[in-house]
Chain A
Amino acid sequence: IAGITQAPTSQILAAGRRMTLRCTQDMRHNAMYWYRQDLGLGLRLIHYSNTAGTTGKGEVPDGYSVSRANTDDFPLTLASAVPSQTSVYFCASSERTGDYTFGSGTRLTVV
């Protein structure tokens, strides 16, 4: 089934630990995005990539890094997790600007 796969589905992480959230798409979309969604705040863009080999910072990039070695994969890394990074993380991709396909999300709790 074409779409976006995120892993893990959920994770409880000790503060200070390093964590990589995985995102893979099979639609050959050029653009990919990482969002976090917190109650009452809506979706906030962390990082994005318009095409393989390029990345850019979104609204809330601090504490996160990404890479885009190929078209399909767009991992998000938390170098040293803090409790404020507790959130639901969504990866998305798009072929046409604004028409996004989202992954099912990763629920991350940092304790």
Chain B
Amino acid sequence: GQNIDQPTEMTATEGAIVQINCTYQTSGFNGLFWYQQHAGEAPTFLSYNVLDGLEEKGRFSSFLSRSKGYSYLLLKELQMKDSASYLCAVLDSNYQLIWGAGTKLIIKP
């Protein structure tokens, strides 16, 4: 079966750095996506990785290792507005997105 695992909840301090991990087992791989979802709102696209390595976009970076079935989202200089759920999703061999349950990130002052 297809499976995406990420921690249910994480807590971090404003101004700090946090890494949210995602491991996946899917039928095929055509890319990995990270989305941000604030409470009561729709998910919004953050990043896309299809090749191994680190993709940096401002305060957010995303890393992929296809051989390990592993990705992480790194958030630097945390701000209170970063409190949200972060969803990991993998595009499988049928080009369907398989979603993780999401990681709720709580930022404390």
Chain A residues proximal to chain B, CB less than 8 Å: 40-45, 48, 58, 90, 97-105
Q: A99-B48, A100-B97 are in contact. Are A43 and B30 (CB under 8 A)?
A: no
Chain B residues proximal to chain A, CB less than 8 Å: 4, 8, 30-31, 33, 35, 41-45, 48, 87, 89, 91, 95-97, 99-102
Taking A99-B48, A102-B44 as known contacts, 5 extra A-B pairs with beta carbons closer than 8 A to each other, sorted by chain A number, are A40-B8, A98-B31, A99-B33, A100-B43, A105-B41
Q: How far is the CB of B36 from chain A (nearest CB, A)?
A: 11
Determine the chain B residues whose CB is within 8 A of the CB of A100 once the complex forms. 35, 43, 45, 97
Determine the chain A residues whose CB is within 8 A of the CB of B89 once the complex forms. 43, 98
A43 touches B42 (CB 8 A): no
Q: How far is the CB of A93 from chain B (nearest CB, A)?
A: 12
How distant is the Cα of A97 from the Cα of B91 in the complex, in angstroms? 8
Determine the chain B residues whose CB is within 8 A of the CB of A104 once the complex forms. 41-42
* Those 10 A-B pairs whose CB atoms lie nearest each other, nearest first: A102-B42, A42-B101, A43-B99, A42-B99, A98-B91, A98-B33, A102-B43, A104-B42, A97-B95, A99-B45
Partner of A45 from the list B45, B96, B101, B102 (CB cut-off 8 Å) is B96
Determine the chain A residues whose CB is within 8 A of the CB of B100 once the complex forms. 42
B87 touches A43 (CB 8 A): yes
**Max count, chain B CB within 10 A of own CB: residue among A44, A90, A98:** A98
Identify the closest chain B residue to A107 (Cβ). B40
Identify the closest chain B residue to A91 (Cβ). B42
Q: How far is the CB of A61 from chain B (nearest CB, A)?
A: 13
